[in-house]
């Protein structure tokens, strides 16, 4: 699953081709993941899909694009005489079951994780190998980046057919082991404006977006990739926050304007800047995708203290033991000097919970049959 990326919009909505390149970090599956099981059988009467326990419309256009493309690649491999292709299975219907362990459609890149997982699983079932990011892109643009682990760029490409609009790994997940990511879940509710419709409106109405794609992003991409290569957190942090701010400036420049951030989001932004100003260096960085939830980047040595800061200024409504999930975090004491330096009023109920994680790999195979989502009858083992 990737969760941080540079917003760009699309130059071609049907092929999902962006107006600029972008960069993301794939988060570790031990904390945030989409699990997908695909079954193929001659006994299935039709293609079907279940998401988070509920059957959904299999005829959704982007989903159909991915299915068609994987089947086309499988037929091509068969006609080319390559081994490993189940000839009979190509004419069978498929059942797909997918579950997220994080909020869906809340600005946490659920579509990116979902389509990357779907395309990877379908390809395994149908014997398709090779570069699959262009297929995942047809489901969700950012899904192409989720096909790889670590730091990944989505190269915008120039061709009208989109064949050169693919993802490329910049550095693997092992490159920067000290980097930590904290997902501050402000709201797990569905977004009032979806990412796709919002971006398209921005493309049509925002003059700032054109300036950004033409004049800002190309140089910023080079700077960010260089910062990642060098593990330069100060440069990484500043670029990340500036780009997040510009994304939401574009949202306001859209007509009518789009509001993804809320009061809690803005308090988090202020908290980060006050914290960094106190230490006179960038120790933490925020970024917000198309939703109010914050993604915080920091180094391992600062995680414990910064989380205590968050707990103090956004006190959990219930048992604090359930407030932080994921990678373990040690308890520490805040100094009065730091509390005074931040100088904000605590906001109760501002943050639902926090996920502590790090960079992770791309799609992986779940070998344990008990964790597969479909039973021997091809139906979900559990349903809502």
CATH number for 130: 3.30.230.10
Calculate mean pLDDT across residues 58-63.
Answer: 93
Is 286 within a domain?
A: no
Of 177 and 16, more confident: 177
**pLDDT over threshold 50, residue 384:** no
Is 282 within a domain?
A: no
DSSP assignment string, 128-178: --S--HHHHHTT-GGGGGGGSSSEEEE---S-TT-TT--EEEEE-TTS-TT
Alpha-carbon distance of 75 to 69, in angstroms, equals 10
The lowest-confidence range among 4-8, 99-103, 140-144, 187-191 is: 4-8
pTM, 2 dp: 0.90
**pLDDT over threshold 50, residue 61:** yes
Helix then strand then coil, in percent of the chain rounded to 5, is: 40, 20, 40
pLDDT tens per residue across span 96-111: 999 988 765 444 556 8
Alpha-carbon distance of 141 to 18, in angstroms, equals 8
- Count of domains for the chain: 1
Is 288 within a domain?
A: no
Is 222 within a domain?
A: no
pLDDT tens per residue across span 200-235: 888 899 999 989 999 999 999 999 999 999 999 999
Supply the pLDDT for residue 102: 72
Supply the pLDDT for residue 142: 86
Calculate mean pLDDT across residues 29-43.
Answer: 92
Is 335 within a domain?
A: no
Is 50 within a domain?
A: yes
The token pair at 80 is: 């080319």
Q: Which domain holds residue 128?
A: 1-175+365-384
Is 312 within a domain?
A: no
Is 104 within a domain?
A: yes
């Amino acid at each position: 699953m990737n969760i941080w990326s540079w917003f760009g919009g699309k130059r071609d909505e049907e092929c999902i081709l962006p107006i600029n390149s972008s960069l993301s970090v794939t988060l570790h599956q031990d904390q945030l993941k989409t699990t997908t099981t695909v079954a193929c059988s001659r006994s299935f009467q039709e293609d079907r899909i279940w998401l988070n326990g509920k059957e959904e419309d299999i005829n959704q256009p982007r989903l159909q694009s991915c299915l068609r493309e994987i089947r086309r690649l499988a037929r091509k491999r068969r006609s080319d005489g390559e081994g490993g292709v189940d000839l009979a299975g190509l004419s069978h219907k498929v059942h797909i079951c997918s579950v997220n362990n994080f909020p869906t459609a809340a600005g946490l890149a659920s579509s990116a994780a979902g389509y990357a997982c779907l395309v990877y699983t379908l390809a395994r079932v149908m014997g398709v190998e090779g570069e699959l990011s262009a297929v995942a892109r047809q489901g969700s643009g950012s899904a192409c980046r989720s096909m790889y682990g670590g730091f990944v760029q989505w190269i915008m490409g120039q061709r009208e057919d989109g064949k050169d609009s693919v993802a490329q790994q910049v550095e693997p997940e092992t490159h920067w082991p000290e980097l930590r990511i904290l997902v501050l879940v402000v709201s797990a509710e569905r977004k009032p404006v979806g990412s796709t419709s919002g971006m398209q409106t921005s493309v049509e109405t925002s003059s700032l977006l054109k300036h950004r794609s033409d004049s800002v992003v190309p140089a910023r991409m080079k700077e960010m990739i260089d910062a990642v290569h060098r593990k330069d957190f100060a440069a990484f942090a500043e670029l990340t926050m500036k780009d997040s701010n510009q994304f939401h400036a574009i949202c306001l420049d859209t007509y009518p304007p789009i509001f993804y951030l809320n009061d809690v989001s803005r308090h988090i932004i202020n908290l980060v800047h006050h914290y960094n100003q106190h230490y006179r260096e960038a120790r933490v960085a925020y970024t917000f995708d198309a939703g109010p939830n914050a993604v915080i980047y920091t180094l391992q040595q600062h995680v414990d203290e910064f989380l205590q800061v968050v707990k103090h200024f956004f006190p959990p409504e219930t048992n604090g033991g359930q407030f932080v999930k994921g990678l373990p975090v040690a308890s520490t004491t805040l100094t009065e000097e730091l509390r005074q330096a931040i100088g904000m009023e605590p906001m109760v109920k501002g943050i639902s919970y926090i996920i502590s994680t790090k960079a992770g790999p791309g799609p992986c195979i779940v070998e344990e049959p008990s964790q597969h989502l479909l039973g021997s009858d091809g139906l979900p083992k559990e349903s809502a």
